[in-house]
Amino acid sequence: MPSKRHLRRVALPVGLGAGVLLLAGCTPQELNGFLPGFMDENGNAYAEPATNHTDMVSSLWVNSWIVLLIVGVITWGLMGWAAIAYRRRKGQTGLPVQMRYNMPIEIFYTIIPLILVVGFFFFTARDQVTLETQTENPDVSITATGKQWSWDFEYHGTAADGSDDVWTMGVQAQPAANGDIDQAALPTLYLPVNKSVKIQLESRDVIHSFWIIDFLYKKDMYIGRDNYWSFTPTREGTYQGKCAELCGEYHSMMLFNVKVVSDAEYEDYLASLKDKGQTGPIGDEYDRLSNFPGTGAQSSEEKH
């Protein structure tokens, strides 16, 4: 019978080999923690991530779960071991020997959680700083406005007064009798591939949340307070977007599409909006901020 030492020598490479084979058999979606945007509808892996930040978000997500699972397995193992090793044996009576404290164990379960919390904070804060850093001079500047229950998109030009801006104003999704959504009728945001984009996020009424699913990031849209999101789309295609903040009766119908296209196709699209006369800045006349100072709304004191 082989000795325990020989078994240990064999177990390590066998375990490593099994782990490598297991990972090799994983799909890109599984390797990225089952997050969307890494495989097409036919199950084929995309050659490029959706944006320059997608891999960072996926890495933070997957590595966090790996660490948490390791901690969980160790904790569950210790709990199981303690339950078996210190169980009441047949014939035993009374209470087991009581211990007031154990300094090594108390130091252990104080220091280890502290290290884990600091580690999670460091990596999360590091990635968040990168994700939240706004591009000062982006190639493309857009204002996305959420409203009950659709989206307006304004593509900024170079004029300070916004006179050369172009825009689209959408309506909420309308399901057919069978429940299907007419995708072609949804508001569509056009973005040029491999160009830096900065989106200014606004709301006309209540709090919304701007979420492009495959981009693995979403940001809230507040009343009277602008938010910003900077990134670079790196893969052409059509992506789904939606509001991720419960915003009223037809929240589920607050859908939009995102088309990442070539630079030439993007410019052609902007030209088509200009030809339709959809130029200039979108005004605030559609906002419903009736209680904001300066809107002429009466205060409760004035009413009485």
> 53 lies in a domain?
yes
CA dihedral 232, 237, 240, 244 (to 10 degrees): -10
pLDDT computed for residue 89 by the predictor:
87
Residues 251 and 175 in one domain: yes
Residues 109 and 178 in one domain: no
Are the CB atoms for 172 and 254 separated by under 8 Å?
Answer: yes
**What DSSP line would sit under 125-137, residue for residue?**
HHHHHHHHPPPSS
- Is the model's pLDDT at 69 over the cut of 80? yes
Which residues make beta-bridge pairs with 18? none
Which residues make beta-bridge pairs with 26? none
Residues 174 and 122 in one domain: no
Name the DSSP class of 40. Answer: -
* Whole-number Å distance between alpha carbons of 72 and 58: 21
pLDDT computed for residue 35 by the predictor:
86
Residues 42 and 109 in one domain: yes
Residues 112 and 183 in one domain: no
Residues in the chain: 304
For residue 149, is the peptide bond before it cis, meaning its omega torsion is within 30 degrees of 0?
A: yes
Q: What is the mean pLDDT of residues 32-45?
A: 82
pLDDT computed for residue 21 by the predictor:
45
Residues 147 and 256 in one domain: yes
Residues 24 and 126 in one domain: yes
> 93 lies in a domain?
no
Q: Give the CA distances from residue 114 to residues 62, 107, 110, 118, 270, in Å, rounded to whole numbers and listed in that order.
A: 21, 11, 6, 6, 53
> 281 lies in a domain?
no
Residues 22 and 147 in one domain: no
Grade residue 109 by pLDDT with cuts at 50, 70 and 90: confident
Strands laid side by side in the 255-261 sheet: 188-192, 255-261, 237-243, 208-212, 217-221
Residues 110 and 148 in one domain: no
> 297 lies in a domain?
no
> 95 lies in a domain?
no
Are the CB atoms for 145 and 202 separated by under 8 Å?
Answer: yes
**Structural domain count, the chain:** 2
* Whole-number Å distance between alpha carbons of 211 and 84: 48
Residues 80 and 171 in one domain: no
> 25 lies in a domain?
yes
pLDDT digits (tens, 9 = 90+) for 263-303: 999 999 999 999 999 999 987 777 776 555 554 444 434 43
> 181 lies in a domain?
yes
**What is the extent of the structural domain holding 80?**
16-87+100-132
pLDDT computed for residue 295 by the predictor:
44
pLDDT computed for residue 298 by the predictor:
43
pLDDT digits (tens, 9 = 90+) for 167-226: 999 999 988 888 889 888 999 999 999 999 999 999 999 999 999 999 999 999 998 888
Q: What is the mean pLDDT of residues 92-107?
A: 84
* Whole-number Å distance between alpha carbons of 152 and 203: 10
Are the CB atoms for 185 and 127 separated by under 8 Å?
Answer: no
Q: What is the mean pLDDT of residues 113-142?
A: 94
Give this prediction's pTM. 0.80
Residues 81 and 204 in one domain: no
> 252 lies in a domain?
yes
pLDDT digits (tens, 9 = 90+) for 226-239: 899 999 999 999 99
- Per-residue HEC secondary structure of 157-196 comes to CCCCCCCCCEEEECCCCCECCCCCECHHHCCEEEEECCCC
Q: What is the mean pLDDT of residues 146-153?
A: 94
pLDDT computed for residue 302 by the predictor:
44
Tell me, what amino acid is at 195?
K
Grade residue 88 by pLDDT with cuts at 50, 70 and 90: confident
Residues 154 and 271 in one domain: yes
Query: At 189, which CATH number?
Result: 2.60.40.420
- For residue 53, the SS3 value is coil
Helix residue ranges per DSSP H, the chain: 4-24, 28-31, 54-85, 103-132, 263-275, 300-303
Residue of higher predicted confidence among 45 and 201: 201
